[in-house]
Amino acid sequence: MKTRLHYFICLILIFTSFSVFAQRITVIGKVLEESGEALPGANIIEKGTTNGTVTDIDGKFSLKVSPKATLIISFVGFQQKEVKVPAGITHLGNIKLAEENSLEEVIVTAYAIQKQSSAVTGSVARIRRADITGKVAGVQVSTKKQKKGEAKTWKRSSGETNRVRLSIGDKETLPLQSRQMAVKVEGFRARVVMDCYFYNDKKRRLEGTFKLRLPNGASPYFFAFGETKYTLEAKAKDKQIKPVNYKQSQNWQFDPAKVMETRREQWSSVKQARVVPKQKAAKAYTQTVIANVDPALMEWSGADVFSCRVFPLVPGKMHHVVIGYDVNLLTTNDQHLLQLALGNAKDKAPLKVDLLVANMPATQAKVVPEVFAEPLGKATRWSWNDPQAQEIKATFTPKAPILLASNEDTALNYFATSFKANLPKVPKANLKENVVFLLDVSLSSQPDKFNVWLKTMTALLQNNRDVIKNFSVLCFNVEAFWWKKSQVKNTKRNIRRFLRFANRLSLEGATDLGGALEEVNQAKWLKNQSKYLFLMSDGDVTWGENNLYQLSQKVAATDELYAFSTGFSGTDPRILDYLTRSTKGAVFSIVNEEEVQQVSKNFRFAPWRIASVNMSGASDFILAGKPQYLYAGQQVILAGRQQKLKTPTLNILVTQVGAKRNLSMTFNQQVDSELAKRVYGQIGTTQLEELGYLAEKEAIQYAVYYQVPGQTCSLVMLESERDYQRFKIKKGGDVEFIKKNTVNELLQKLLANKGKQLGDAKGEFLHFLSKLGKLQGEEDAFEFKLPANMKALIDKTPADYFQVTLPRLQGKQHFARGYSNSLRANLQGGEPDYELVTKEAEKLSKRDNADAIRLLSSLVEKNPGELNLLRDVGFWMMKWGKTAQSYFILKRLIDMRPFQPSSYQLIAQALQGMGRNELAMLYYEVVLNIRWDSDYAGIENVVRVEYIRLLNKMLKNKTSIIAKDFLEQRLSTLKKTLTAKGFMVEEADLLVTINWNTDETDVDLHVKEAGGETCYYKNKRTKTGGHLSKDMTEGFGPEMYFVKKAPKGIAQIKVDYYSDNESRFKEKTKVYLCIYKNWGRPNETMIRQVITLKSEDILKKENKDALQLIARLKF
């Protein structure tokens, strides 16, 4: 009876739900201004619900609602309107909004790509002037009354931060079985240790890429990888993963040795990473993978993005990855905030979170979600099992300044503190009337940051109408395009017009900040005009020039640049700090909407110059961001060295014209913390890295000693101590160097001796050459010395020839409307699908290369550290004739993997396409003058053939700055070498080269000549004179075929595909193919192609009928 009743109730509920669902109706309408002009991007919300949409480019909308619903319709700068849906009516007709005079309530919607739907994929929000804690679409501060003691921040719409994935191919990942996160908070700093368990459910050993986006400003300090005893086939009681017991205080010691010791019984075959110069780390990893040994590599892939390669992932085994990082808490309204994103919280994998906060008598704490707090020694602990929330927030309200101090070493002890610069606001004289906004519309602005930028721009204009009389807006990704090519008046109407334009934009592409700054310089209507530049960007440069000094030189001397830090992950503070500091600007914190209003007028006040810093018992004071000036209310992080501080008082003397002020604070609260050392090390390493190659040696010393991976160093783990010795990787750092060289002393010395070389591209090139030979292993190491001919060539090349600029891209399609619904939704989600993007980019390239490049570069923006992808995109740039774009991609590849010679060959080709022949010669010379690994033997002859063609062109054109006798002498030597090797060719009916983008892959070139004979790796010379270069069996190529006199008929060009890398699962290989007819002759023509070889194309056995046909040529 009970069973029947149960089924009967379920049946009733099902029919009831069908009835309710069936009652919804679809209403349509069009939103207009009173003038009749359409309002795209207007918000339509069903009152009392979160159901809503936005209008399309024509102001039209369609929305499923309940019968008799009331719609709330709003748009920035217009009066909100409520429209009741009449019974039986679904077409609401034209709905006109009246302009509002006071902007008492505004709506900000900034979804650049809004798929029309009855469900709002982000959020649509009302923001009241009287209640600033409202929402912004996709980014919000809770509209509920703020809980007492809880700090406010923007709400994230995505769960990318702290999300972990272990990918084993283009789309394949290993399942995450369990996670544990432990966070220890001391003062303004937190240390996070994350344990992740992955099960290899495939049937072979694999190489994986552990992908992790860290919180804003986080710095990894620990990385370890091993196997566990757990298997999914075990009995239930034996396969239960036992988390670390954080009820025991000794398990909260998070230094690397203690982390390893705590997990000693949980895993086996454990390897712990060491911080190593990044090129040496990559070299060591690659060589040990080839040898089927067990390495791992963790390297910086962009702002807050680290990519970790791990090998081997044994089949049927549970693998344990542990990563530790440090991060500063967010600061807002004198509160410190830990905002711990849970990343994979929505996944099924179990998650346990523990939080330990050092007790500070004068500090209040508020934790959400609320759980029971328990004392643990001199701290308080909270714990969550499988929390349903997307994040855990802990707010701390210190009543007095806090000092972190490490006292573990008698010779080297450290302190660190964070405080607000409580300085008076003194208005500037001669304020500028003109403003240029540089608005980042790249893919990484989706959707959170973009909405914050729009909100900030609106506040700046509205709150400073008495100062800012005119403004311009430059939007940029890989392009830079103006909203209007003129200055417009700062009026409410113009603000509305701009927001309407912004709502239609497609947020896509990579970030070329250098191109944007250059565009501002080139704007004719801004010439000789003093102005403020407001940079609305995270500063994460993924395209084009990324040299800090070169970027700063693109800002006019009379301009001041200001930037904003949102607290979102993906921000590169190096670039924001450097640009603002070099222009006497500042970076302002806007971690919530309240701060937007607070800082919107800060640029109007004069900064205070830092004259001196002192504290008894302390030395080597360094400030994060290295500011020379402080603004009122600016948050400051200060670190230094110290000796036994008791109750120290910090004094910072600041000055303005005719005024002095002393910022003074006494630290009655001290926390004994190992984190102080790393705060100092992280700031010091960053400041040294800012000097680029001039301080690379010193920066590496600091990065290795303080365990700071990033610009110069990576984390690498090898199988044994012998492997570390093989690659000359020492454990720890040079403590004597650190003792003798403080950060300030090093900076002063370097700038005094080498300051004039900042931004010297020729010096940077020479420095790079000098260290190439030092990247090899012990068995083939040699001291690289420039050959006489190469040194002579460099000496003859002026410095400005080494400086390459990216030409301006001018696309036509900047709005989302031109894309298919599937692609629009895909981009809007911030996860560009490779197949969708490349297919659409190919289509776009047929009418406009710039549009195609912008879309394709979205893949780079999302995955800036994916080397195979970078090569892939570089191939497309070459195919489309955009060689300058390819140059910067290849330069980044060379920086990350300088031991792969094919990149030098390709960058030389790109430089020739740009007319930079002298620089192309140098890259060819690099290939010919370094003894590469045996895997790459054979590339030299291909390069010699290409080099001879270049020299012949230079001699014929007579435009080179290089002396004729030098070119002739080099040409003669190359010809003799190739003749001796039987590979000499200056002219040919047909010449073909291939390169590919995946390592440990063998792509073979086959050319079936008209006579029927095939030239391939088993038949390298044909009866008609066809020649094939050495078979490259490991990766990247190149391979070359030529025939001087092709037999009449049809020649067929084919490729086959072998992959030795069975440790990767379903990984695509891209082949870049160049086909030349009449090579080296005046009537030479070239065809470029990029083709995809998928894993199913891999040949297990040789089968000529299965080869992929690329081209048919008639002779």
Q: Which of 81, 107, 140 is the last residue of a domain?
A: 140
Q: Which residues pair with 228 in a beta bridge?
A: 267
Does the structure show a pLDDT above 70 at 290?
no
Q: Which residues pair with 105 in a beta bridge?
A: 128
What is the H or E stretch that residue 5 is in? helix 2-22
Confidence of residue 303 (pLDDT cuts 50, 70, 90): low
Q: Scanning the structure block, which residue is given the tokens 């592409």?
A: 509
Q: Which residues pair with 1085 in a beta bridge?
A: 1077
Does the structure show a pLDDT above 50 at 139?
no
CB within 8 Å of 466: residues ≥ 6 apart: none
Confidence of residue 344 (pLDDT cuts 50, 70, 90): low
Assign 3-class secondary structure to 787-853.
Answer: CHHHHHHHHHCCHHHHCCCCCCCCCCCCEHHHCCHHHHHHHHCCCCCHHHHHHHHHHHHCCCHHHHH
Does the structure show a pLDDT above 60 at 17?
no
| Residue-wise pLDDT tens digits, 1075-1085 | 999 999 999 99
Which pLDDT score is estimated for 106?
Answer: 31
287-291, 453-457, 1105-1109: least confidently modelled range: 287-291
| Residue-wise pLDDT tens digits, 50-77 | 677 877 767 888 888 888 889 999 876 6
User: What is the reported pTM?
Assistant: 0.84
Q: CA nearest 183: which of 17, 430, 367, 439?
A: 367
Distance CA 480, CA 897 (A): 30
Distance CA 606, CA 583 (A): 14
| Residue-wise pLDDT tens digits, 84-134 | 988 878 888 999 988 764 333 333 333 333 333 333 333 333 333 333 333
Return the higher-pLDDT residue of 1058 and 132.
1058
Q: Which residues pair with 1114 in a beta bridge?
A: 1050
User: What's the alpha-carbon Rg for the chain, to the nearest Å?
Assistant: 31
In this prediction, residues 287-294 reach a mean pLDDT of: 62
How many domains does the chain fold into?
3
Sheet holding 618-623, edge to edge: 618-623, 635-642, 413-420, 402-406, 669-672
Which pLDDT score is estimated for 1059?
Answer: 61
Does the structure show a pLDDT above 90 at 1022?
yes
Q: Which residues pair with 810 in a beta bridge?
A: none
User: E-strand spans in 334-446?
Assistant: 335-341, 351-358, 363-368, 374-376, 379-385, 391-398, 402-406, 413-420, 434-440
Question: DSSP character for 41?
Answer: T
In this prediction, residues 322-337 reach a mean pLDDT of: 90
Q: Does any domain span residue 1093? A: yes
Question: DSSP character for 990?
Answer: E
Which pLDDT score is estimated for 87?
Answer: 83
Distance CA 1107, CA 1090 (A): 16
Residue 51: CATH number of its domain? 2.60.40.1120
Q: Does any domain span residue 1057? A: yes
Q: Does any domain span residue 545? A: yes
Note the Cα 233 to chain centre separation in Å.
39
Mean pLDDT, the chain, integer: 84
Q: Which of 89, 107, 140 is the last residue of a domain?
A: 140
Does the structure show a pLDDT above 90 at 1052?
yes
Return the higher-pLDDT residue of 913 and 345.
913
In this prediction, residues 564-591 reach a mean pLDDT of: 91
Return the higher-pLDDT residue of 794 and 122.
794
Does the structure show a pLDDT above 80 at 361?
no
Q: CA nearest 329: which of 240, 243, 392?
A: 392
Distance CA 804, CA 888 (A): 9
Would you state the structure tokens that stand for residue 92, as one six-digit string? 């609401």
Which pLDDT score is estimated for 351?
Answer: 92
Which pLDDT score is estimated for 134?
Answer: 32
Q: Which residues pair with 398 in a beta bridge?
A: 363
Judged by DSSP in three states, 941 sits in helix
**Beta strand pairing status for 351-358 and 176-186?**
parallel
Which pLDDT score is estimated for 156?
Answer: 57
Provide the terminal-to-terminal Cα distance of the chain, rounded to the nearest Å: 87
Would you state the structure tokens that stand for residue 469, as one six-digit string? 């009389």
Task: Answer whether 539's CB lies under 8 Å from 444's CB.
Answer: no
Would you state the structure tokens that stand for residue 532, as one six-digit string? 């403020």
Distance CA 183, CA 192 (A): 5
In this prediction, residues 483-499 reach a mean pLDDT of: 95
Does the structure show a pLDDT above 50 at 138?
no
Q: CA nearest 189: which of 67, 64, 360?
A: 360
Q: Does any domain span residue 826? A: no
| Residue-wise pLDDT tens digits, 642-698 | 987 888 999 999 999 889 999 999 998 888 999 999 999 999 999 999 999 999 999
Q: Does any domain span residue 455? A: yes
Residue 1074: CATH number of its domain? 2.60.40
Cα dist from 835 to 815, 831, 1092, whole Å: 21, 12, 11
Q: Does any domain span residue 494? A: yes
Task: Answer whether 650's CB lies under 8 Å from 668's CB.
Answer: no
Which pLDDT score is estimated for 137?
Answer: 31
Quote the crossing angle between the two packed helices 834-845 and 821-828, to the nearest 10°. 120
Give start and end residues of each alpha helix (H) in 583-727.
593-599, 675-689, 696-706, 721-726
Angle value at C-alpha 951, between 947 and 954, nearest 5 degrees: 140
Q: CA nearest 889: which of 862, 905, 869?
A: 869
Q: CA nearest 586: which of 556, 536, 630, 652?
A: 630
Distance CA 672, CA 408 (A): 9
Which pLDDT score is estimated for 238?
Answer: 45
In this prediction, residues 885-911 reach a mean pLDDT of: 94
536-550, 554-568, 954-968, 1057-1071: least confidently modelled range: 1057-1071
Would you state the structure tokens that stand for residue 155, as one six-digit string? 């709400």
% of the chain beyond a pLDDT of 90: 49
| Residue-wise pLDDT tens digits, 161-209 | 888 888 887 778 888 888 999 999 999 999 999 999 988 888 888 888 8
Q: Does any domain span residue 118? A: yes
Q: Which of 563, 579, 602 is the last residue of a domain?
A: 602
Helix then strand then coil, in percent of the chain rounded to 5, is: 30, 30, 40
Which pLDDT score is estimated for 1093?
Answer: 81
Peptide bond into 369 cis (omega under 30): yes
Q: Does any domain span residue 637? A: no
Residue 545: CATH number of its domain? 3.40.50.410
% of the chain beyond a pLDDT of 70: 86
* Residues 982-1008 as b or e (16 or more Cβ within 10 Å = b): ebbbeebbbbbbbbbbbbbbbbbbbbb
- Let me know how many helices (H) and strands (E) the chain has, helices first: 26, 54
Which pLDDT score is estimated for 627?
Answer: 93
Residue 1108 has φ and ψ, to the nearest 5°, of -85, 120
Range of the domain at 450: 437-461+473-553+589-602
Q: Scanning the structure block, which residue is given the tokens 């855990």?
A: 392
Distance CA 543, CA 169 (A): 25
Which pLDDT score is estimated for 294?
Answer: 55
CB within 8 Å of 1055: residues ≥ 6 apart: 994, 1003, 1004, 1005, 1006, 1071, 1073, 1091, 1093, 1107, 1108, 1110
In this prediction, residues 7-15 reach a mean pLDDT of: 47
Note the Cα 722 to chain centre separation in Å.
34
In this prediction, residues 389-397 reach a mean pLDDT of: 89
Q: How would you classify residue 732: left for phi > 0, otherwise alpha for psi between -120 and 50, otherwise beta?
A: left
Would you state the structure tokens that stand for residue 347, as one six-digit string? 């996944």
Residue 906 has φ and ψ, to the nearest 5°, of -70, -35
Distance CA 34, CA 634 (A): 44
Question: DSSP character for 473?
Answer: E
Which pLDDT score is estimated for 824?
Answer: 82
| Residue-wise pLDDT tens digits, 379-390 | 999 999 999 888
Distance CA 894, CA 898 (A): 4
